[in-house]
Every structure is written in C-alpha cells, then in structure tokens.
Amino acid sequence: MDKFKRIWATKNPNDEWWSSFVTSPLAVICNWFVVDIAWITPNLITLLSFMVALASAVFICLGSSEESFGTAFYVAAAVLIHVSHILDCMDGQMARYRGPLSRSGGFYDKATDHLQVFVWFGAIAYAGYAQTKDVTLIFLAFIGVCFYALRGYVKYVAIHSEMERDKEYLTARSRTSAALQKQLDELGGLGKGLGNNLIWFLKEQRKLFNFDEGVFVFMLSLALIIPSTLIPMLWVFAVSQVFWGIIRCCQRGQQLAHDQHPDSSKIPDK
C-alpha cells in the first residue's frame, strides 16, 4: 500500500479533465506493476504511447474505408486512444517516482503530445470526409489543430520572455505547482473519505471547458463509438480552439505587459 501511495503522490495536480479521474488513476495502477522494472523507462513509455496513437489513427482510417468492419475498427481506435493516453500519464508519473526529472524526457513528452493531437484529428477529419464528402470537416480539423498549437506556442513564448526578465520565474511556478498539489492532497485522494473526494470530483468538472488533450480523448472516443457525433465534435473542437487560442494570446500578452511595468499603477513616494 505504501508503494501505491507513493505512486499516487506523483499524479499531476494540473491533470486535465478526463485524465484527472480516469486515465491518470488507471496509469497509477499500471505503474504499480512496472515502475520498479529498470529497463522500462519513462522515455520508452513515451515512445510506446506515440506508437499506439499512430496505430489508433490507422484504425480510424481503416474504419472509414471498410463498410463491413468499420464499427469494429472505430471501437478499436477508441480503445487505443485511451491506452495511448494512459501511457502518456504513466511516463510522467514514473519519472517523478524515480527522480530526478529529465529535461529531454519532458521535451519529447510534450512534443509527442502535440503530434498525437494532430494525427488523431487528421485521421478523424479523413473519416468525416469519407462519410460525407464534405471538405468543410477537413478545414474544421485544420483550424482546430492550428489554434491548439497556438495555445501551446504563446505559453512557451511567454515563459521564455518571463525567464529573460526573471531567472527565478520557473522556480516560482514550481512553488505554485507544489501549492496546488498540497490543495489536492488536502481535498481529495487516498484516505480522504467519500465526501471530500466527491467535492474534489465535482470541482474537477470545471476543467471540461478548457478543451485540452484530456477532453479530446473523451471527444474522439465518443465520436468513434457514436459516429453520428463526429461532425458536431469537429465543430466543437474548431470553435473551442479558436476561442481559447485568442483568449490565451490576450491573457499572455496582458501578463507580459503587467510584469514589464509592475509598479506603473503605484503612486511614487514623495
């Protein structure tokens, strides 16, 4: 039980919506079996996660071209998408459990995360086009992944700019993350009781509206299992990413402007 608690403590407090209470807890369970096997490394799991994501995209494309086995291919793709995301949660948990964290490992993890989103929505756009012959669906997926990439791009541009101003910026962010982890530990988790965990679960539902990778896993799986939701899902994906892409650009820009002149609103001492 002590080992399980130590792995559970490596859960990311900033886990996305579906990750928070589905794929990340499943990753903890899987890690319990493999985290002490030396040859299974976080980087190996990252690579495996990406390969499974590619396999799921292949099944999506096969499902759109096979009438007799189309549903079976789509269900298999939905399962593989979840397996890929569980593995994606496992690599970070394993790295934090073993320590110290690898900068190159974190880089490859983030890079493959973005590539997976592009591959998944490229495949689902192809499936939608195969069903309807409507090229609009391809443009929806293209717009969605572009603005999703923009969300990540402005984040790292802002971090780079903040680091040029303050070399301790990331240290401060680490403290904030640690504070979030403490709040998580106090509210929900192992040994916190049904009531506290229910409150935590309800609060986590707000993350649904962030429309990030964890939400994508759920949306894609739903669209594959219930094909009638595929077209509405692509519209939701495109609109949500345009909305959050613009919002994040404005927020990052305003934050940089504020940090550049932090005392501009203060009245100077006489």
Work out the number of other CB atoms within 10 angstroms of the CB of residue 162. Answer: 20
Residue range 168-179: mean pLDDT, rounded: 71
What CA–CA distance (Å, rounded) separates 48 from 130? 29
For the chain, what percent of residues have pLDDT higher than 70?
90
Mutual angle of helices 169-187 and 193-204, in 10-degree steps: 130
Q: Nearest to residue 73, comparing CAs of 82, 61, 85?
A: 61
What CA–CA distance (Å, rounded) separates 202 from 183? 15
Which position has the higher pLDDT, 187 or 91? 91
What CA–CA distance (Å, rounded) separates 69 from 46? 30
Q: Which tokens belong to 41?
A: 């490394």
User: 225-249: per-residue pLDDT in tens?
Assistant: 998 999 999 999 999 999 999 999 9
Residue range 187-199: mean pLDDT, rounded: 74
User: 97-115: per-residue pLDDT in tens?
Assistant: 998 888 888 899 999 999 9
* pTM confidence score: 0.88
User: Which of the four pLDDT bands, split at 50, 70 and 90, describes residue 80?
Assistant: very high
Residue range 25-53: mean pLDDT, rounded: 96
Q: Which domains does the chain have, with CATH numbers?
A: 2-260 (1.20.120.1760)
**pLDDT at position 212, please?**
92
Phi, psi at 267, each rounded to 5°: -85, 125
Contact 71, 127 (CB under 8 A): no
Residue range 178-204: mean pLDDT, rounded: 72
CA dihedral 207, 209, 213, 216 (to 10 degrees): 130
Q: Which tokens belong to 82?
A: 């979840």
**pLDDT at position 21, please?**
87
Highest mean pLDDT, choosing among 64-78, 138-152, 162-176, 205-219: 138-152
Which position has the higher pLDDT, 236 or 197? 236
